[in-house]
C-alpha cells in the first residue's frame, strides 16, 4: 500500500462521500479517482450508491466516482493496520 492509498484508507473507516474525500484530502480529482479505483480493484474498499446501498459489479470510476460513497472492507482495514 503506497502513501496515497494509506492516507485515503485513513478516511474510510466510516462511509464517506466522494465530495467529503475531495474536500478533506484536497487532491486533484484524477489522483483521487485513480487511487479509489486501485483500492477497489484490490478489494480494499467497497462502493455504495448511497450510505446504505452497496454497489456490486463493475464501476466506471471516471464517470461515476463523484456520485458514489466509499467504505473500507475488512481486507482493506487489515492491510491498512498491518503497515
- Over residues 23-57, the pLDDT tens digits come to 999 999 999 999 999 999 999 999 999 999 999 98
Domain assignment of residue 23, given as a range: 3-81
The predicted model scores a pTM of: 0.94
Residue 83, pLDDT > 80, answer no
Query: Based on the structure, what is the number of domains in the chain?
Result: 1
The beta-carbon contacts of 40-45 under 8 Å, at least 24 apart in sequence, are: 42/75, 42/76, 42/79, 43/73, 43/75, 43/76, 44/1, 44/5, 44/9, 44/72, 44/73, 44/75, 44/76, 44/79, 44/80, 45/9, 45/12, 45/70, 45/71, 45/72, 45/73, 45/76
Q: What's 28's domain CATH number?
A: 1.10.10.10
Mean pLDDT of the chain: 96
Amino acid at each position: 500500500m503506497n502513501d496515497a492509498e494509506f492516507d485515503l484508507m485513513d478516511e474510510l473507516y466510516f462511509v464517506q462521500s466522494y465530495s467529503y474525500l475531495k474536500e478533506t484530502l484536497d487532491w486533484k480529482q484524477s489522483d483521487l479517482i485513480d487511487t479509489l479505483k486501485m483500492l477497489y480493484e484490490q478489494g480494499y474498499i467497497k462502493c455504495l450508491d448511497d450510505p446504505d446501498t452497496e454497489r456490486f459489479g463493475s464501476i466506471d470510476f471516471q464517470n461515476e466516482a463523484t456520485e458514489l460513497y466509499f467504505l473500507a472492507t475488512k481486507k482493506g482495514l487489515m492491510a491498512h493496520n498491518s503497515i
